[in-house]
Amino acid sequence: MSVENSGALEGDKGLSNRHVQLIAIGGTIGTGLFMGAGDSIHFAGPAILLTYAVIGLMMFVVMRAIGEMLYADPTQHTFIAFMSKYLGKKTGSFASWSYWLTVAFMGMAELTAIGKYVQFWFPSWPAWLIQIVILVILTSVNLIAVALYGEAEFWFAMIKIVAILSLIATGIIMLLTGFKTSQGTVSVSNLFSHFSLMPNGAGNFINSFQMVMFAFVGMEFIGMTAAETKDARKVLPKAINQIPFRILFFYLGALATIMVIYPWQQIPANQSPFVAVFKLAGINWAAALVNFVVLTSAASALNSVIFSASRNFYSLAVESKSPILKRFTKMSSHKLPANAVLITALLIACSAIIAVLPQISDAFTFVTSASTDLFIMIYVLTLVTYWQYRKSNDYLKDGFLMVAPKFFVPVAIIGFVLIYLTLFFNQSAMVPAIGATIWLIGFTIVQAFKKA
């Protein structure tokens, strides 16, 4: 995307460092931790901490690559725009459409989850109606002002952070007092008892990578906020350096606490370990507590999805020669891409249709898995783009530079490719992986026959 076009969104720079920090945290910490931690621990045991650390560092490499490019050219309102600039328009087109679709699908999954969470308290309310109401509210927030969006996301994310810190604090108190539960005494030995890198076999250990990878997707949302910060070059380095480590702290801290309180061999799969832990601590209303947390987590993630995906679609519309897409370049009185927000919300609203289908749980799994597959493709393209940027005349030698890129970038790319390949050996992720591969091949074939 050209600098001239990208400047269209510069009218309302209402995001501060705290907004940017919480947008990324809000887009990352969600159901992958609160609801998926039980499966992750079941697959890999305490070794899941190593898996989170490794993938977290890979994501940090991606974040630093995005940060370095945005620091050099903060006028770009999406890091995807750099792909068109350094890898060609066809590659940029693939990345842009893939990113918009995969983030919108993630929004559909979150909205579907919201319907289920609200029904926990109001089982007679139809899920489709709940979804429409929530979507209208969050879309309205995104249409009013960037600052209001950032403020809403700030408080959404704060609820998650307080919940995780409460869990960690509870675990520390139980550990120091030698608290005894129905599962035994709370002790660090619960974490290391019968430790094995692959306690449930190599296959299950490999399967854990897909689940952990899904838990991290969305961290790059910070790249969509760069042009709408008050001082991009001041905010970006601080935000990018802090976010990955804060997220790792929340993930590793929460998981370690869970396994200290609850022997990892007994942690039930397919349900939230947060519920089990709070119940062991004597909080019988833990189910309602965790349901409230995951509800706000899903709303937070959906809020970030609408913001991020709408900016990506706006970029697509600006670059397109189609008169139909040109309609979506219209800006509101608040200097926001109103039509792009609305079309994104309309796609996400399809989840209300899915809500009446009997296979909704399968659809949810499929959509989230497919999103993860496409995210991996985009992360690899981001690192390839970064490498081309370093070779270009735009390379800013005194900018926000990545440490040892010649080592970390190739290692991260290899890591992402290996994770993608493992999806074909994971029964629940195989079909989405095949579908994502077909999307890549099909899009490439179509683009090959198009004129440049």
The predicted model gives 18-29 an average pLDDT of: 62
Name the more confident of 372 and 407.
407
Q: Residue 389's pLDDT band (boundaries 50, 70, 90)?
A: very high
pLDDT exceeds cutoff 80 at 421: yes
pLDDT exceeds cutoff 90 at 134: yes
pLDDT of residue 22: 64
pLDDT exceeds cutoff 90 at 377: yes
pLDDT of residue 320: 79
Q: Are 184 and 190 in contact (CB under 8 A)?
A: yes
Strand partners, 15: 229
Q: Residue 41's pLDDT band (boundaries 50, 70, 90)?
A: confident
- Coil, helix or strand for 181? strand
Query: Dihedral angle at the C-alpha atoms of 103, 378, 424, 273, nearest 10 degrees?
Result: -50
Burial grade of 3 (CB within 10 A; 0-12, 13-18, 19 or more)? exposed
Among 21-35, 92-106, 281-295, 435-449, the range scoring the smallest mean pLDDT is 21-35
pLDDT exceeds cutoff 50 at 12: no
Q: Are 69 and 395 in contact (CB under 8 A)?
A: no
Among 42-51, 196-205, 292-301, 399-408, the range scoring the smallest mean pLDDT is 196-205
In DSSP notation, 319-353 reads H---HHHHGGG---TTSS-HHHHHHHHHHHTTHHH
pLDDT of residue 390: 93
pLDDT exceeds cutoff 70 at 14: no
pLDDT exceeds cutoff 80 at 308: no
pLDDT exceeds cutoff 70 at 7: no
The predicted model gives 415-443 an average pLDDT of: 86
Level-2 CATH architecture, domain 3-448: Up-down Bundle (1.20)
pLDDT of residue 189: 83
Question: What is the share, in percent, of the chain residues with pLDDT greater than 90?
Answer: 15
The mean of the pLDDT values for the chain is 80
pLDDT of residue 224: 56
Q: What is the pLDDT of residues 176-231, one digit of tens each?
A: 988 888 777 888 888 877 666 677 777 778 878 877 888 888 777 665 565 456 67
Closest CA to 146 of 260, 308, 302: 308
Q: What is the pLDDT of residues 139-168, one digit of tens each?
A: 888 887 666 666 666 777 778 788 888 888
Sign of CA dihedral 422, 49, 403, 221: positive
H/E stretch holding 245 reads helix 232-261
d(CA 290, CA 38): 14
pLDDT exceeds cutoff 60 at 259: yes
- Quick one: residue 451, left, alpha or beta (phi over 0 = left, psi -120 to 50 = alpha)? beta
Q: Are 212 and 415 in contact (CB under 8 A)?
A: no
Phi first, then psi, for residue 60 (nearest 5°) are -65, -40
Name the more confident of 416 and 272.
416
The predicted model gives 388-403 an average pLDDT of: 90
pLDDT of residue 318: 83
Among 5-19, 216-230, 305-319, the range scoring the smallest mean pLDDT is 5-19
Q: Residue 413's pLDDT band (boundaries 50, 70, 90)?
A: very high
Select the highest-mean-pLDDT range: 47-61, 305-319, 355-369, 416-430. Answer: 47-61
pLDDT exceeds cutoff 50 at 9: no
